[in-house]
Amino acid sequence: MPVARSFTIARVFLRYRLDQLLPAARRPLWLRGLLSPLKLVPPPQMGRGERLRRALEELGPIFVKFGQLLSTRPDLLPPDIVEELDHLQDNVPPFPSEHCIALIEAALGASVDELFLEFERQPLASASVAQVHGAVLPSGASVVVKVLRPGIDRVIEQDLRLLSVIARWIERWVPDGRRLRPVEVVEDYRHTIEGELDLVREAANGTQLKRNFSNSPLLYIPEVYWDYTRENVLVLERIHGIPVTDVRELLAQDTDMKLLAERGVEIFFKQVFEHNFFHADMHPGNIFVSRKHPRRPQYIAIDTAIVGSLSREDQYYLARNLLAMFRRDYRMVAELHVQSGWVRPDTPVNTFEAAIRAVCEPIFEKPLGEISFARVLISLFQTARRFDMAVQPQLVLLQKTLLNIEGLGRQLYPQLDLWKTAHPFLERWMRERIHPKTIVGEIKRYGPEWLEKFPQLPQLVYSSLEQSRELGPRLENIGEQLARSHRRGRRQYLRRIAGVLLALGATAVAAPDWFAQLPPSGWVLGAAALVLLLWP
């Protein structure tokens, strides 16, 4: 980790007193001692959420994007912090158009004048990772050209290493750190942000989404021009829809707002359960509404760098959880959490069921049209946290997308009854999952592989039995080796303690005056260093 960057983070940490975000009662004793000198630094006159937001903005684009990811985790963070992180903006000044043109020409092997009939020097948009320019191809097609920022890969790699160090520190020293699985969250974020650095991957995602919604009245995805696309340059069809947040213009063209909101929900569930490939960055800036057929409105989605998918098991358990929850079958919800492995297998189902009922019953006393579908799911995860539910990285993108979709739908049509749209879809999907036609399709898909392996089955069974018979003696040897290793490690640890104590004693004898003049904060920091050094 570069030293200069480490000092920058420490400076920002101190300026905004981010140590106060962790409740004092939950700080380990050694951490309280280490942070005690910070009491001399007054905190800024602003709320804790605003302090965190400003610190992330000051630390740069990668921390801003990480904050945006954290804003989708209201099951982990307090509401005031989540609300403030929602205001993080990914707008940064554009880099010079001369640099952009040089990158395009190097990637495509020709001058901009040869590649395009027209190229707009002024960017249409500029974000932390890339910026976008308008252009016209020789065929006359109107396009946008997306170009990665020069050197952004080095900046991202440097900050990702820092986030990994912080995550490992949290996992080791913060209470509940292991359950939150911060290292996995950062690794998941690494895959997400690295996906944004490969514009060929973004183009492939867009092509797949376009294929999934081919000739669909629900969603349109811009066409990719593959001949002009490279890892750091992406050329897409230019769209001219209405920003989905421009409610005034949508109403001016007599858009059916109720149908528009319901179609957004339908797109989400179709992507998650039918296609198992969903656009996971559907914030309002990436969504437009076609100007065609306002009484039968169609969405347009851009920026397909981040997509998500679930395992077949997670799909199944999520659908059954949602159905059971809205049927108020809390016993089934508790059992499904255990069966899916989302909570520990020894979780007391009766106690878990009672906790879920206590959270959900007050919510379901409201009319269905007033219930936030996403908030119910978050409340369920918050309840499961008390039973050591580990963070499920594969569900983070799904939860984020559901929050975006529902919030957008309620903005377009406040009376949106999301459950009225979702319930029939989930019921139909569950029926089709066990329909004979689906089973036949699975047999057709996997049948050749089964037939190919069938002749090997007797040998595989015999080999498994032989391995299990040989496993017993090996386990005994491993147990003996572990015991010896444990005894050896304990002896080394005791020698280390003795060595440190002898060194301290020798220093105290050699320089007693220096020890007497050491201030209290020095003793605290020295004690903390000693604890870390001698930690088993």
- CA 201, distance to chain mean position in Å, is 18
Q: Are 100 and 147 in contact (CB under 8 A)?
A: yes
How far is Cα 198 from Cα 234, in angstroms, rounded to an integer? Answer: 9
Q: Are 38 and 73 in contact (CB under 8 A)?
A: no
**82 phi and psi, to 5 degrees?**
-60, -45
Q: Beta 219-220 vs 299-301: how paired, if at all?
A: parallel
How far is Cα 182 from Cα 204, in angstroms, rounded to an integer? Answer: 29
Q: How buried is 107 (Cβ within 10 angstroms: 0-12 exposed, 13-18 middle, 19+ buried)?
A: middle
Structure token pair of residue 349: 């189902």
> What distance separates the 2 farthest-apart alpha carbons in the chain?
88
Q: Are 412 and 366 in contact (CB under 8 A)?
A: no
How far is Cα 359 from Cα 353, in angstroms, rounded to an integer? Answer: 10
Q: Are 198 and 182 in contact (CB under 8 A)?
A: no
Structure token pair of residue 182: 């911060």
Which of 216, 284, 217, 292 is closest to 254 using CA atoms? 292
In one letter, which amino acid is 55?
A: A
Q: Are 146 and 233 in contact (CB under 8 A)?
A: yes
Q: Are 32 and 521 in contact (CB under 8 A)?
A: no
Q: Beta 130-136 vs 125-126: how paired, if at all?
A: antiparallel
- CA 331, distance to chain mean position in Å, is 29
Place of tokens 């996403």: 374
Q: Are 81 and 49 in contact (CB under 8 A)?
A: yes
C-alpha distances in Å from residue 138, one per residue of 114, 194, 228: 9, 32, 12
C-alpha distances in Å from residue 41, one per residue of 20, 25, 34, 36, 81: 12, 20, 14, 10, 22
The residue annotated as part of the active site, out of 281, 303, 314, 417, is 281
Q: Are 338 and 356 in contact (CB under 8 A)?
A: no
Residue 281 is a catalytic residue: yes
- CA 371, distance to chain mean position in Å, is 25
DSSP tag of 197: T
- CA 464, distance to chain mean position in Å, is 39
Helix or strand run (H / E) with residue 236: strand 233-237
Q: How buried is 520 (Cβ within 10 angstroms: 0-12 exposed, 13-18 middle, 19+ buried)?
A: exposed
Which residues are marked as active site? 281
